[in-house]
Amino acid sequence: MPKGLREIRNRIKSVKSTGQITRAMQLVASSKMKRAQDAARHGRDYAELLGEILETAMSKVGEFTHPLLTKREVKVRGVLLITPDKGMCGALNSNLVRAASEISNAAFVTIGRKGKQAMARAGRTLLADFPVSDRANFSEVRPATEYLLQAFLDGKVDTVEVIYAYFKNTLVQSPRVQKLLPADSLAAQAHDLRVRLNLPTTAAVADNRDMIFEPSAQAILERLPALFFKQAVHQAVLESKASEHSARMVAMKAATDNSKKIASALSLEYNKARQAAITQEILELTAGAAAQ
Amino acid sequence: MPLTVEIVTPDRRAYQGEADSVTLPTELGNIGILPSHLPLTSILAPGEVVVVLQGKTTRLAVDQGFLRVAADKVSVVTEAAIDEAKIDLKAVEQGEARAREAVAAARQAKEVDPAEVAKLEQILRFAAVQRLVKGRTSPGLTD
C-alpha cells in the first residue's frame, strides 16, 4: 500500500475516535445540563420569593441600618469568581477570566479549578478557593458565602462582587459582574433581581393593611440581608453550572459534527487515492503486457 | 376564599396549592393562619407545617427560614422541606449517623471549620424534625 494511503487511513481512525469521545462528552453534558438548568430555574423561584419578602418587609419598616448595608471607602474589591472545574466548554472559561482580569486592586475568592489556576498564573491575590460539586447544594456553597461575609465584616475586602456565567438559554451564556455587598439599599437590590430575572417590577402582592413583624422588624431584618446574600451567591453558582453544561454540550456537539465532516472528507480523499493507485497499477500491467 | 400556599426551598418548590388553614412553626410558637389574616412577616422555626384543604391534611417538615402572609397568600422560604409521606426514616437515620460521626471528628480536630459544623448541624436539625413529624402520625391514622 502506498504511504499516502496509510497516512490518510490513520487520520480517519484518529478523527473517528476523537469524534466518539466528543460524542460521549456531549451526551454526558446534555444529561447534566437538564438537571442544572432545572436547578437554576428553581433557584430563581427561591430568589424571587426571598426578594419579594424582603421588598414588602422593607416597604413597611422604613429606615434601617446594618453592617452589610453600609458603604465604605473601597481599598480592596473582593471578587468571587465562579468558573467550571474543567475545560472543553467553548469560550466560557476565557470569557470569565477576561472579565475577572479587567478588575484592578482586587482580592479573589474562586469556586472552580479553572478560575483558580488562571488567577494563580496571573499572580493575582487569591484569598481562598472552594470546591463545589455538580449538584451545587445550598449547603455546599455555604462555606464560600460564610467566608466572604466574614471577610467583608472584618474589613479584608470592602466590596463583594461576583463574576459568573449568566445562563440565558442553552446557546447563550454571558459573563456577568454583579455587586452584592455592600447592599446599599435592599429595595434597589430586590428591584435589580426582578429586572435581572425579567419579572414584573411591582410587588406581586398588594395588601395595604399594616404588617405585623414577629418577633420584631429588627430581628427579621438583621438576618434577611445575610440570607439574601447567601442565596444570591448560590443562585450565581447554579447559573454558572447550567451555563457550563450547556456550553459544553454545544461545544461538544460542534466538535462531533466537525469530526464527522472531516472523517467523510478524508474517506473521500482516501477512496480517490485508492482508486488512483489501482488505475495506476492496471495501467502499468497493461503497458507491460503491450510491451511483450 | 381559600388561602394560597407556597413553600419554596433553594432546590425546588416543595408545596404549591390552596388551603383552608395553615399551621406554621415560628420562633414564638406555632401560629395558625386562616383567610383574611393580617399581613405578617415572621421567622420560621424548624418544625411541622400543616396544610388543611377540605378536611384533607398535608404535613411537611421544614427547616428554618422566613414566612410572609399578605393578601391571603402564605409564602414560606426555607432551607429544606419535605412532605411527611416522603420521609424515609431509614435514610434520615443513616444521614444523621453520618453527620454525628462527622461532628465528633470535627470536635477532635484542632482546626474546626464553623461552616462545616453549621452544615452538619443543619442535617442533624432537619433529621430531628423529620423524625418528629413522621413519628407523630402512625400509618393507621393518616387518611
A16-37 per-position pLDDT tens digit: 999 999 999 999 999 999 989 9
- What integer pLDDT is reported at residue B141 of this predicted model? 42
Q: Is the pLDDT of residue A225 over 50?
A: yes
Residue A215 lies in a domain: yes
Q: What is the C-alpha separation between B120 and A140, in angstroms, rounded?
A: 11
- B31, B64, B66, best to mutate vs chain A, most A CBs in 10 Å: B66
> Left (φ > 0), alpha (ψ -120 to 50) or beta: where does A198 sit?
left
- Please state the CATH superfamily assignment of the domain spanning residues B3-84 in this structure: F0F1 ATP synthase delta/epsilon subunit, N-terminal (2.60.15.10)
Using an 8 Å Cβ cutoff, are A164 and A236 in contact? yes
Total structural domains in chain A?
1
Q: What is the C-alpha separation between A204 and A187, in angstroms, rounded?
A: 14
Q: What is the C-alpha separation between A12 and A266, in angstroms, rounded?
A: 6
A146 and B115 within 8 Å at the Cβ level: the answer is yes
B77 and A137 within 8 Å at the Cβ level: the answer is no
Using an 8 Å Cβ cutoff, are A64 and A73 in contact? no
* pTM exceeding 0.90: no
Which DSSP helix (H) or strand (E) runs through A21? Answer: helix A3-61
Residue A189 lies in a domain: yes
Confidence tier at A56 by pLDDT (50, 70, 90): confident
Q: What is the C-alpha separation between B109 and A81, in angstroms, rounded?
A: 30
Angle between helices B114-136 and B89-108 (to 10 degrees): 150
For residue B113, which residues of chain A lie inside 8 Å, CB to CB?
Answer: 143
Q: What is the C-alpha separation between A83 and A204, in angstroms, rounded?
A: 34
User: Which of B70, B79, B118 shows the shortest C-beta gap to A56?
Assistant: B70
CA distance B63 to chain A (A): 13
Tell me how far CA of residue A205 lies from CA of A167, A266, B75, B115, in angstroms. Answer: 28, 64, 11, 35
pLDDT in tens, B27-76: 889 999 999 899 898 999 998 899 999 989 988 889 888 999 988 899 99
Q: Structural domain of residue A149, as residue ranges?
A: 28-248
Q: What is the C-alpha separation between A149 and A22, in angstroms, rounded?
A: 40
Which DSSP helix (H) or strand (E) runs through A217? Answer: helix A217-291
Q: Which of A68, A89, A149, A163 is catalytic?
A: A89
Sign of CA dihedral B65, A232, A187, A45: negative
- What integer pLDDT is reported at residue A60 of this predicted model? 73
Residue A108 vs residue A179, higher pLDDT: A108
Beta pairing, strands B73-78 & B3-8: parallel
Q: Is A127 exposed, middle or buried (0-12, 13-18, 19+ CB in 10 A)?
A: middle
C-beta atoms surrounding A132 within 10 Å: 19
Residue A211 lies in a domain: yes
Q: Residue A49 sits in a domain of what CATH number? A: 3.40.1380.10
Q: Is the pLDDT of residue B19 over 60?
A: yes
